[in-house]
Structure 1
Amino acid sequence: MPHGSTGDLGSARAVYPGTFDPFTPGHWSVVDRSRRIFDHVTVLVAVNDSKQPSQAAGARAQEIRGMLPADWRNVSVAAWHGLTVDYCRRHGCGVIVRGVRNPADGLRESELGAMNEALGVSTLFVPAQPELATMSSTVIRTLRAGRAGG
């Protein structure tokens, strides 16, 4: 069982960061499974300067908030510009949750996880459910663009 910044079992706070442009069924699955492990999960809508999302981080965060069931009381959504580790330190989150769809994701995420571990925050990798492994925000945006243009 992971433990939060207090070191006590059962007091774990986690962050699930991402661009979430858009929030996919795979993201939903990771949040659902994570909320069952941790006392609290923050879906952290990140600003990534290398990406050009369709909406500002605040608008994406608001949209995600509206998608989550009301009974998921241990899940919150926040927009953040900066390092995820800095958010974790400010808010007492001891674990970063990352979804992994395939071996390429695994390699990239393990490199980020090692860096975050060196900065004092552990990473939990959550494998994609098989039926969701091929779904990505990029795929959804491409499908939406095809429908809009066709």
Structure 2
Amino acid sequence: MSGIAVVPGSFDPVTLGHIDIISRGAKVFDHVIVSVLNNQHKQPLFSVEERIELLQTATKHLLNVEVDSFDGLLIDYVKNKKATSIIKGLRAVSDFEYELQMAAINRKLDDSIETIFMMTNNRYSYLSSSIVKEVAKYHAPLDDLVPNNVEVALKKKFTK
């Protein structure tokens, strides 16, 4: 496939599951924009700026990937970036139900933009940012869960 795709998410923090989906998307599309959602209703562990920096470091080996942020409607952001697709990673059936609703509303708002679902690698099917934060809070090993730079950042957050 060619064109531009957007991988949206909170990425609080970015996990190896996220990196897997981003890497696979980068093989399929000419350009991938990983965009951090600035959700004002959540209390994130990392600021948007910190998440952008963590993602930039974790994806620096992917030359066709850029990192950005957005607030508002995803579909407006995607159109503004002239992207043709949204990439969403799925871990379980419960993810699919929610993401199907999101894809349906996005399609209603603009039927020229496709949502592409990628099944997570089995190694990461249990992995979520919430689980990572819980593990980090109790100083358990994180090396198989997050990129090295994220592990360092999490340790700093939870040793304050």
TM-score by length of 2: 0.82
- Residue deviations 1:96-129, cap 9 Å, x none? 1101000000100000011111111221011111
Please give the residue correspondences for 1:81-120 in structure 2 after superposition, counting only pairs within 5 Å: 81-120=71-110
**Stretches of structure 2 lacking an aligned partner (at least 5 in a row):** 140-157
1:37 and 2:51 correspond: no
Q: For 1:1-150, what aligned pairs fall within 5 Å after superposition?
A: 1=1, 10=2, 12-70=3-61, 72-120=62-110, 121-147=113-139, 148=158
Distance in 2 separating the partners of 1:117 and 1:77: 24
How many residue pairs match? The answer is 139
**Deviations 1:13-58 (Å, cap 9, x if unpaired)?**
0000000000000000000000000010000001123321112212
Residue range with higher mean Cα deviation, 41-50 or 130-139? 41-50
Q: 1:19·1:47 contact (CA, 8 Å) conserved in 2? A: yes
C-alpha separation in 2, matches of 1:82 and 1:61 = 17
> How many Å apart are 1:87 and its aligned residue?
1.0
After superposition, the CA RMSD in angstroms is 1.3
Q: Report the Cα distance in structure 2 between the residues aligned to 1:50 and 1:131, rounded to whole angstroms.
A: 31
AA at the equivalent of 1:91: K
Runs of 4+ in 1 over 3 A off after TM superposition: none
Contact 1:57–1:80 under 8 Å retained in 2: no
**Residues in 1 aligned to 2:133 and 2:7: alpha-carbon distance in whole angstroms:** 21
Alignment partner of 2:11: what SS? coil
Separation in 2, partners of 1:39, 1:145 = 38
TM-score, normalised to structure 1, is 0.88
Contact 2:13-2:46 within 8 A present in 1 as well? no
CA contact (8 A) 1:101 1:133 kept: yes
Aligned match of 1:6: none
Give the drift of 1:132. 0.6
What's the counterpart of residue 5 of structure 1?
A: none
